[in-house]
Structure 1
Amino acid sequence: MKKDIILSGVGGQGILSIATVIGRAALAEGLQIKQAEVHGMSQRGGDVQSHLRISSSEIRSDLIPRGGADLIVSLEPMEALRYLPWLSAEGWVVTNTVPFVNIPNYPDEKALDAELHALPHVVLLDADALAREAASPRSANMALLGATAPLLDIAAERLEEGIRAIFARKGDAVVEANLAAFRAGYETAKKQTAR
């Protein structure tokens, strides 16, 4: 088993929480992981990306070569497109469709949408709306993680254990809201990947 994942978004959206949950789940399944340092402007509002490599055998480098990513997981559509040069020919893009417009020359949203819809392997979801429906507007990252889960080759139960572990200190209500967002994202992705 091998999965090379690029996580991308904007500072403050919860990229590191996604990486932490996936990492915990991978370790619980006996897999090896390497994660590159988060690059970019990690303060709120700046571009953030991270490389996460998971394998059943030894991983030599923590950086994913161009054309080598199995997944690009993004909380922001423009950021998903920014990392397409790293995506393999059979790779998947899983992205939130809600833009985080933080620059004056943000690309035309219709053009972004058209480019995303033209990709051969893509899961598109309004992670923000799924999080609101789960009564946890700040859990869009967990909805996105749920949408990624069917493509990870890691048991969804392991990912849910990771969510429980990282949010436990915030109380049961926060844990349950994040699990609800995760499950909503999971169901959305299952419908889109079954085509």
Structure 2
Amino acid sequence: MGWTDERVELLKKRWGDGLSASQIAAELGGVTRNAVIGKVHRLGLSGRAKSATSSVSRMRAKPAGQPRRPAPTAAPRQPSFATRGNAALAVSHAPAPRPTPAPRIVPIEVVETALVCERVTIMELRENMCRWPLGDPSQPEFRFCGGRSTPGAAYCPHHSQVAYQPANDRRNRRISAPAH
């Protein structure tokens, strides 16, 4: 069914009365909840009246005569969002996570070997030449190592040792690093 003027007016009235999109779709017949929501957005209908029963039923009733306990103020709370169920967008406050110290980054120890860097430009770079970048690419002095690399490898033996490190070695180096 299409959106006739009468159906649009009924939609506006029921939306203003606070009915849900599902309820309006059921009353109109021939349209889905999503069609109602889409039409509401296209019509620019914003807020709507809340029924008194819906807002009262959501509030927790406290027995009269009992004082309210003040909320604890020990730690600031960060909002966390549920991702499932009917409270998917409801904000619940969880305690702020404790800051954890950043892991210490240990610099890689480069063993100086008989490193021969030819310092070549990209135009001079040929097959079996090391492609290790030297310097800042935005500067005119930028060059590549150009040292001899084994066939099929991108870097010379020295730069390959720096570039290709087993994950376990990196992990062990981080764990065994002394704390500050």
TM-score, scaled relative to structure 2: 0.19
Return the structure number with greater relative CO, CA threshold 8 A, min gap 6: 1
TM-score, scaled relative to structure 1: 0.18
Computing the radius of gyration over CA atoms, which structure comes out larger, 1 or 2? Answer: 2
Higher helix proportion = 1
Higher strand proportion = 1
